[in-house]
A and B are shown apart, each in its own frame.
Chain A
Amino acid sequence: MDQLLRSKRIIICLGCGGVGKTTLAAGLAVRAARLGLKTLVLTIDPSKRLATSLGMELNDQSQGSVHFVQGVLQDLSEASKVNISSPGPGQLFAGIVDPKSTFDRFVRQVVRDENLYHKVVSNSLYRQLITRLNGSQEFTSLQRLYECYSSNEYDLIILDTPPVEHTVDFLMAPQKIESIFQKSVSRWFIFWGQKKKNWVARALGQMTMKAFEILEKLTGSIFITELIDFFVSIESWQHNIKDRAEDVRCLLASQKVAFVMVTTYSTAQLTEALRIQKELSDLGYHLSAVLINKVVPLWPELVSVDNVTDKQLFEPFLNLVRYYNQYRNYWLQRDSIVHQMEGGVTGDLKFLRIPQKQHEVVGINELIGLSDCIKTP
């Protein structure tokens, strides 16, 4: 694992919700920093206490915004530095991906003209669409990753991903958002806005005209007008979204990027891990490790047990022994599934087991404790 941390520039943590992904991403980052690397961890959805430990302020997301101070763009989502009590040269920085400000920054970069920029961001649909579009959260995480990577400030960036149900959707989502920013899509809307002109009917075709009429009936004319305004305002820069999505895809497929998947001992999730490995490799990406989180230590077989002398404790004692065996077997079964998978796996996919901690890992000391446990057997 240490080798992975040292050799890659970006590590992306995939996994379903509830497995401890955000905490492990932070743990990995702590380990990397203690190994001497200048590390950044970008989280999506940290709990308040974890965020506090990492020195991040969890603001109300709806207030994220971009400010201009004397004409210079101020970045409100600076990463905060974390004290990891390590004597080496490594440093740890932590940040939260804020979709609103990330997208605003992106627009600001691609829209040179300040007036047009203001026109875009003040469109009433822009706010709604940009942060709530299906795929926008994923696009902005990857955009933020790209920004941080391009700055060359960090030896290693660890990206936490949103807890989507199908974790590979995270990588596919930017293509969805691209679809609405196609030149052809906005053209239709712009034409529709000028529908009084005859040539429009010819350009759009009767079928599309009809489809638009239905849309207007379903949603009312105010919405349609706002939608048209929106498309007019993005016309000059929408191709940048596609370009950026392409840049990101190339980066993710390069040797500099590794994917790790976080799961727990559940059979369903472990099977999912193998399926995801295949999906990723179909996309040209590389799954390097599976981190099995919250692993309970295996209890040995009870060989000989002397019964208690107190008669009243006979029954409870028997139940205790039975419970011990049930408990042991339960975790043994799960462990054997991992063994099976390790045996059947092709390539160099590593499986790491990370033990369950007695207390929730939220403080920085506990994070350091966790980071010490993340190692290849």
Chain B
Amino acid sequence: MILKLFLPRKNLMARSVNPFYNRKSMDLTQLGSKRVLFVTGKGGVGKTFVSFALAQRFARQGRKSLVVQIGASSTLPRPYQKVSLGYNAQPLERNIYGARWDGPHCLKEYLLSLIPVSQLYRLFFENRVMRSLIDVAPGLLEVAILGKITHSAQRPIDSEEYDLIIVDGFATGHFISLLRAPIGLSEAIQGGPVAVRSRQIVETLRAPEICEYVVVALPEELSLVETREFCLTLKKELEVCPKIICNRSIVPPASVEELKKILAHISEKSVLSQFVIDLLFRLDIEKKAILELGQTGQDVFCFPEVLNPSDSGV
């Protein structure tokens, strides 16, 4: 029944499929079956929202996930608004944990593993010249973060066993340089343990049984073009095929036919009439955009637009 689609839900995601479009239903069992899920997308598309929504979905299926935020801090969705995530994982709700892994912290942890004698480590890390090198070294912090992610993929973190690590990654532009960083670093620095580790990281990122990638897009033209380009780049550089989540798709109150019929029944000059025309126009643009997204050959999943703020925090 159409009415039921609109009842506010406690969870972040409205569950039902929009029956008016012929698009992939929200069968998300394909997602999240590997060890690490990278979520990326242009700024403002809703990566954080999607990351937590996915975590909630997996939690209901009994899978335990750790949502890791990297990059700048973003406001967490409504249930966790007041939470401040730290380096160590903290429980957010049943089967969902959160953490924030920043570059300097990850680098410090990594260097400590290489220079176990703490005096020597401090000597190195706190030396002014080394600090300035670390500050400007291209990709070093990115590699440190990726190192922690790939390292964590295969073992418990802080004594917790996770089924899945969801990485709320940088926006697509940064994401590309993030993924290129270990490659670049291993080319610049050919010898030593840093180089070896960088190459290991690249191997793990490319392993389809370990890492999975999702791009969040909006049903808008510009977003499409960028998403397509991003998918191509990812295929070329990492030989991986990301899945696409189309966020904020319109959940129309009635089918297109019904809307058109209503239009015929109400006064042309009325506000409602103008609104319906606008809505039909937006629906049409979105439909074309989603069709185009589907043509990339990747799987496309649609997440609905949430207009009622009590449902979500974004």
Interface on A for B, CB 8 Å cutoff? Answer: 16-19, 45, 47-49, 125, 128-129, 132-135, 163, 165-166, 176-177, 179-180, 182, 184-185, 188-189, 207-208, 210-211, 214-215, 217-223, 264, 266, 268, 299-300, 302, 305-306, 308-310, 313, 315-317, 319-324, 326-327, 329-330, 333, 358-360, 362
Contact = CB atoms under 8 A, between A and B. Distances in A.
A185 B138 contact: no
A324 B314 CA distance: 20
B43 A18 contact: yes
B302 to A, nearest CB: 18
Interface in B241-286: 252-255, 258-259, 261-262, 265-266, 271-272, 275-276, 281, 285
A50 B141 CA distance: 33
Interface in B200-234: 220-222, 225-226
Interface range on chain B (Cβ under 8 Å from partner)? 35 or more
B44 interface: yes
B251 to A, nearest CB: 8
Contact of B132 (A125, A185, A320): A185
A280 to B, nearest CB: 18
B191 interface: yes
Given A176-B135, A316-B255, A319-B2, 15 more contacts: A19-B43, A19-B44, A49-B225, A133-B136, A133-B138, A177-B136, A180-B133, A185-B133, A189-B129, A299-B275, A302-B272, A316-B2, A316-B254, A323-B307, A327-B307
A17 B44 contact: yes
B129 A188 contact: yes
B136 A134 contact: yes
Interface residues of chain B: helix, strand, loop or mixed (majority): helix
Nearest to B265: A308
B87 interface: no
B114 A324 contact: no
Interface stretch (B24-32, B59-67, B70-78, B151-159): B70-78
A182 B220 contact: no
A330 B120 contact: no
Given A166-B72, A180-B132, A214 B190 contact: no
B3 A330 contact: no
A163 B171 contact: yes
B166 interface: no
Contacts of A305: 272
A359 B133 CA distance: 46
